[in-house]
Chains A and B, each alone.
Chain A
Amino acid sequence: MNQIRTWHPFVGPFDPCPPVTCKAYLVPPNLFIPFQPPNWPQFPPAEALKHGTLWPALYSPYESRMLEGRAEGQ
């Protein structure tokens, strides 16, 4: 499931700043898991530490969008 969602905010005619027409937010997978079922597949310990969770189903990459913006600006 794609963890990034977007919406298009209202742009007022008197907004002093350039409008952001598309805003994005992240929905991590734990929002849709009311109670974790037992015996989920697991990462090996080294991978778990790197991913920040023991269970692949709960992994949320949380990639920075700041860098995208900077790359375009430069």
Chain B
Amino acid sequence: MSAASKPDETYYRLLTELQQLDFVLVELTLYLDTHPHDMQAVQQFNQTAQRRWQVAQAFESRYGPLLQFGHSFSRYPWDWSNAPWPWQV
């Protein structure tokens, strides 16, 4: 495990923010399933999705990929298998 991937305060702050944004996206998804013509909610969904993407980018550039099989970029050397794993944080 490299020093760069060691969980610090920022690691948990970004993960928490991701979790919060993901929850908002879940709620808006369920809402929009029954309210497809709510323009404001669609805008909020897209803004939140964009914000989520930014936070995910910031996290991945610091601590390595969140997703695999081409949904996230990898740094060099390949660090997918490095600790900490999701159940360790």
A39 within 8 A of B: yes
Chain B residue total in the interface (Cβ 8 A): 15
- A-side interface size class: 10 to 19
* Contact between B23 and A49, CB atoms less than 8 A apart: yes
Write the chain A residue with the least CB distance to B48: A45
CB distance from B56 to the nearest CB of A (A): 15
A4 within 8 A of B: no
Interface of A is mostly: loop
Leading 8 A-B pairs by shortest Cβ distance: A54-B27, A45-B20, A49-B23, A49-B20, A38-B38, A45-B24, A46-B20, A48-B23
Residues of B within 8 A of A (CB): 16-17, 19-21, 23-24, 27-28, 31, 34-35, 38, 40-41
